[in-house]
Structure 1
Amino acid sequence: MNLPPIALHASTQMDNCTPEKAQWLEAAGFRQIVLARETPLEEIRAIAQTVKVPVEVFVHGALCVSYSGRCYASQHCFNRSANRGCCAQFCRLAFDLVDGKDRVLVQNAHLLSLRDMNRSQSIDEMLDAGVRSFKIEGRLKDTEYVKNVTAYYRRALDEALERRLREGKKWKGQDLGRASYGKSELSFRPQLERSFNRGFTEYFLHGRTEQPVANFTSPKAMGALIGHVGKVRSRSFQIELTQQAPSPITAGDGLCFIDRKEGTLQGFRVNRAEGNEVFPNRMPRLVPGMKLYRSLDFAFNQQLAKPTARRTLQTDWTLRETAEGFAIDVRDESGTHISRQFAYPHEASRSPQRAAIERQLSKLGDTPYVLRSLTIDWQEERFIPASQLAAWRRDCVETLQRAHRMNYQRDYAGKVNHELLTQLTPERLDFTANVANHLARKFYTEHGTEQLAPAFELEEPRGALIMTCKHCIRKSLHLCKKEDRSVPDPLFLRLPDGRRFPLQFDCRRCEMKVYAEKD
């Protein structure tokens, strides 16, 4: 295809979870590959060893229950294509789980609703496996969420890279370093549990473990467990905070709990708090001992609503005496360097000038730079007026900024290996190849594909596979056939309007498949 010469990144929507697919993408000219969220560490390592282009993985945020790029549920049910950015959140709906005789096994539960990903404790392992870019899911997230989560992972990744340098760890014989320069100074302590979350999971990074990946109770944010209900009064209650609670309850907080009668998530706002005595805006139906979660941390969000970070580049300045006047050399931590010559008469000074010069040159204000060091090289003390130093400083900063723009190296499109691409392209492709236009069809046929089905959005197959999931409802409900052969079969998901979706369980691959019911 005749595309602009820009670097192409293979989205996770392209269903990238095997070394073979990664090799195909590299041959097609992609410069970076975003892997499927379900990809375990060992497969990540195998993919990173197979290709030369950087591998990117998700590290935090909301999860899709189906392999991305292989979910057609939203299109099937609501005519809104997830592959076109219009997902209607089918997986966050409540379902009944029924057997072949329509007997209800589980009623009105969010059986496809996953927790949020949090792999903050496995950054070192992912670096060891060859990950070169970490992706944070952030669709529709607010400013406070973005500030907190990005700051947390920036700090965690910097610490991991420093550990690798100290321990002499390398990847393919090379040290790993940051892809950017500068340091951010924060006015707050990043804490992941204090921002929007549905509970956390590492989501199959270490394979299938006992750690739950779904939350059948609610698709909404619950936040962190902060305590238990103590004594309940008519208009207030006491809370027994856990030792892990990051801060006391304050007015404006949002708290929630699981209603024991209905089994649903209920929430309320705090009008005021006096020590451990909490006064809600409306008194909920609470029972002593009930777990309480903080879904909205009002004080923390207020803190994040203010300016919270400043990112700066360190600079080294040298002021030199020349025959015609003075010169200033500036080098920042990225290696960008400039030198400026200034004609100015040499005037002897009766007193040391270093402090005054450093004071003027360090006034870098709202620029992205800070003064790290100053070297003065002259034959004797010289007097330079503060106004002149300020003018030279502004000139140097503007020149340094221009140098950065001129030195920027754009990443261009990779070269297509047509011979290898033809070898790797299948002869037959079904609707999951998502071929929806003549250019995509032409690309595949030119590289050897003989039978090519149209995309699901163009022609929906009868009784089509609409979801392929690593999450297994049977496993989560302890109904695995490997453990109990008497488990009912077949099983269906059923919406309140009566629509049913047959489930198929591939125990060899440990995957669950959701189908559209045949008419």
Structure 2
Amino acid sequence: MRTVELLAPARDYASAVVAVDAGADAVYIGGARFGARQAAGNSAREIARVVEYAHRYGVRVHATLNTLLWDDELPEAERTARELVDAGVDALIVQDMALRRMDLPVELHASTQVSNRTPEGARFLAEAGFARVILERALSLEEIRAICAATPAEVEVFVHGAICVGYSGRCFLSRAMSDRSGNRGACSQPCRLPWDLVDGRGRRIITGKHLLSVRDLNLSHRLGELVDAGVTSFKIEGRLKDAGYIRNVVAWYRRALDEVLAARPALRRASVGESVPDFEPDPAKSFTRGESEYFFDGKRAGVASFDTPKAVGERIGRVAQVSGGSFRIDGDADLAPGDGICLITPRGVVGTNINAVEGRRITPNRIEGITPGAELCRNYDRRFSLALERSRMRRVIPTRALVEASAQGVIVTCTDCEGLEASARRDVPLERAKNPEANAATLRAQAMKSGDTIFAVREVEVRGGEWFVPASLAAELRREALAGLLRQREERPLEHRILPENRAARYPSERLDADGNVTNHLAEAFYRDHGVCAIERPLELAPSLEGCTVMRSAYCIRREIGECLREGSRLRGDLYLEHGADRFRLGFDCKACEMTLVECPRRRMDKEKKH
């Protein structure tokens, strides 16, 4: 049967446990170095703890080593990789092809940072020994389906969380504006800054808006289509998010994916265990910049978040009237004191807390800036957050028990839902029970108990109930049997696809441009061995990016503001994005339906602008 995986982020051990308990089939976590989220690094020892906990449920652990490497970093990168392998990780997620050349005894996944966007590229990566390709987030269902059909590698897609507006692994905007590079795990997220849109004559068309900030992804209602397209792994973004976000969002997607699998008997989930939340999951109540399916149905407008790059939360309604220190909303809403709200007004976003609620009348902590017509959102639901914090959600493995008593002794055998079993026995003389029915009932009750183990005994069979077994002995044997079953689960190896590199595989192009990210001799050798003849010096090593394309994107500002060139835009000539002294010329490839940013010389700021 084909397996389907729900893949959750983990910042550290604690959040990994939360993800597993909430129902993840796999977690991805950063090593000590060379991960695309520098702030989410973990030691090999910490990751070994994650592996130990996760493998009990058949949950896989994927470690991220998905940054570009310099030549002098290769020895340390290899040491880090091998430490992670020794820690028991099931796969390494990599961007730099140098790691492919290190003959690591582990499954390799091609990170989204490789910028996996085409069937040809995905097919090549499978031939080059990658067990899985992780796709770019800007792809449509049609494009994803074509990639799945073209490659024998597993296909992983992001289904929830933040979206990089530029193609992953091909964005150099952060490095152009600072000394922090997204390809080195330290993106400063300049795409979330306020920008001015300026024409070639210096006229400001839009001022102070977050023109490159896009809404967050939510494909929870499209999982069935992705499964049918051939997708194996459904990935939630958020290695920097808190435990509440992970618990809530993973529980939501667990439920949604289980519904999809229930309608497709030929598919099964990739791990085992039941996770029943003690709260009602709702991703709108965790960090979100507003929900979007992005370009899943093709490129379209309405995916940007111009007003704020911060979490706006769930939309409640609009302000109908403001008077004194309170305001009235235009509809009923389940708001409460302590909730955090933000109001989107023509002059910007106003954030505050609620002090009191009387019907539709809301008294905020501060009223300044709140105007009639403002859109009201709740970005902190106090009661829901408390429910998350108090959650004691557990994950259990359904198990059945068999108690067999005879004159010579008693055996307790526990068998889990995958057929693994363990027994505990005592060879002791037993006497006949005075009340066989009561004795059998006691044995059944003792065997049903599972305490704080990972097992939930759902079914018990008692044979030989006419032989009296002390309750204390039955409990002791049940504990031993469950402990033995746990050892079996911990010691059982998971399946992996550790593939060799086929040196005869040909890269889809004979040329790699400067955004191809070849930054060390091992990566260069990899591409040349696979037929690449010309490799430009990478932008990551360029002393200056002036005049270079620092971002290529499926997102288009023209489309977003209703000025698409293919639909007769009134805006002609060059357009620029400006933030402070930084200036970038926008390019529009209408045939490919892509936008580019080219770095211009930095502007000279007068004293007034500097202040």
Query: Deviations along 1:40-91, whole A, 9 cap, x unmatched?
Result: 1111111111222211101010111001011000011102110111110110
Aligned to 2:28: none
Aligned to 1:355: 441
Distance of 2:322 and 2:208 partners within structure 1: 29
Distance of 2:563 and 2:321 partners within structure 1: 39
Distance of 2:554 and 2:511 partners within structure 1: 25
Aligned to 2:252: 152
- The question of whether the paired residues in 1 share the 8 Å contact of 2:519 and 2:541 is answered with yes
Deviation at 1:115, TM superposition (A): 0.5
Aligned to 1:168: none
Deviation at 1:287, TM superposition (A): 3.0
Aligned to 1:218: 308
- The question of whether the paired residues in 2 share the 8 Å contact of 1:318 and 1:374 is answered with yes
Amino acid in structure 2 at the alignment position of 1:199? G
Structure 1 residues 232 and 2, CA gap change in structure 2 (3 angstroms):
closer
Structure 1 residues 232 and 156, CA gap change in structure 2 (3 angstroms):
same
- Structural mapping, 1:45-444, within 5 Å: 45-165=145-265, 175-209=266-300, 212-242=302-332, 245=333, 248-260=334-346, 262=347, 264-321=348-405, 324-351=408-435, 352=437, 353-378=439-464, 381-419=466-504, 421=505, 423-424=506-507, 426-444=509-527
Distance of 1:144 and 1:123 partners within structure 2: 23
Distance of 1:142 and 1:271 partners within structure 2: 26
Distance of 2:260 and 2:489 partners within structure 1: 28
Distance of 2:115 and 2:268 partners within structure 1: 28
Distance of 2:494 and 2:312 partners within structure 1: 44
Query: Deviations along 1:14-33, whole A, 9 cap, x unmatched?
Result: 00011111111111211111
Paired residue secondary structure (1:482)? helix
RMSD over aligned CA atoms reads 1.8
- The question of whether the paired residues in 1 share the 8 Å contact of 2:448 and 2:459 is answered with no
List runs of 5+ in structure 1 lacking aligned partners: 166-174
Distance of 1:390 and 1:73 partners within structure 2: 63
Deviation at 1:258, TM superposition (A): 2.0
Distance of 2:508 and 2:371 partners within structure 1: 61
- The question of whether the paired residues in 1 share the 8 Å contact of 2:115 and 2:135 is answered with yes
Aligned to 1:490: 574
Distance of 1:217 and 1:135 partners within structure 2: 27
List runs of 5+ in structure 2 lacking aligned partners: 1-100, 603-611
Distance of 2:370 and 2:186 partners within structure 1: 39
- The question of whether the paired residues in 1 share the 8 Å contact of 2:519 and 2:538 is answered with yes
Deviation at 1:447, TM superposition (A): 2.9
TM-score (structure 1 length as normaliser): 0.92
- The question of whether the paired residues in 1 share the 8 Å contact of 2:414 and 2:421 is answered with yes
Deviation at 1:208, TM superposition (A): 2.1
Amino acid in structure 2 at the alignment position of 1:383? F
More displaced 10-residue stretch of structure 1: 148-157 or 362-371: 362-371
Deviation at 1:496, TM superposition (A): 2.7
More displaced 10-residue stretch of structure 1: 339-348 or 34-43: 339-348
What fraction of aligned residue pairs are identical, expressed as a percent? 41
Deviation at 1:518, TM superposition (A): 5.4
Paired residue secondary structure (2:482)? helix
Deviation at 1:322, TM superposition (A): 5.7
Distance of 2:402 and 2:530 partners within structure 1: 58
More displaced 10-residue stretch of structure 1: 196-205 or 328-337: 328-337
- The question of whether the paired residues in 2 share the 8 Å contact of 1:33 and 1:55 is answered with yes
Amino acid in structure 2 at the alignment position of 1:400? L
Aligned to 1:170: none
- The question of whether the paired residues in 2 share the 8 Å contact of 1:5 and 1:412 is answered with no
Runs of 4+ in 1 over 6 A off after TM superposition: none
Number of positions where the alignment pairs a residue of Structure 1 with one of Structure 2 = 499
Deviation at 1:188, TM superposition (A): 0.6
Distance of 1:319 and 1:312 partners within structure 2: 21
Amino acid in structure 2 at the alignment position of 1:200? E
Distance of 1:33 and 1:225 partners within structure 2: 35
Residue in structure 2 matching 1:448, options 531, 537, 542 = 531
Distance of 1:196 and 1:425 partners within structure 2: 39
- The question of whether the paired residues in 2 share the 8 Å contact of 1:254 and 1:267 is answered with yes
Deviation at 1:410, TM superposition (A): 4.6
More displaced 10-residue stretch of structure 1: 146-155 or 304-313: 304-313
Distance of 2:337 and 2:195 partners within structure 1: 36
Structure 1 residues 336 and 53, CA gap change in structure 2 (3 angstroms):
farther
Deviation at 1:219, TM superposition (A): 0.9
Aligned to 2:591: 508
Query: Deviations along 1:349-395, whole A, 9 cap, x unmatched?
Result: 011122211211122111011111111222x6111111111110111
Distance of 1:344 and 1:51 partners within structure 2: 60
Amino acid in structure 1 at the alignment position of 2:483? E
Structure 1 residues 287 and 373, CA gap change in structure 2 (3 angstroms):
same
Deviation at 1:471, TM superposition (A): 0.9
More displaced 10-residue stretch of structure 1: 361-370 or 410-419: 410-419
Distance of 2:487 and 2:153 partners within structure 1: 30
Structure 1 residues 462 and 230, CA gap change in structure 2 (3 angstroms):
closer
Query: Deviations along 1:455-505, whole A, 9 cap, x unmatched?
Result: 3221255411111111111111111111115422211111133x2201110
- The question of whether the paired residues in 1 share the 8 Å contact of 2:120 and 2:508 is answered with no
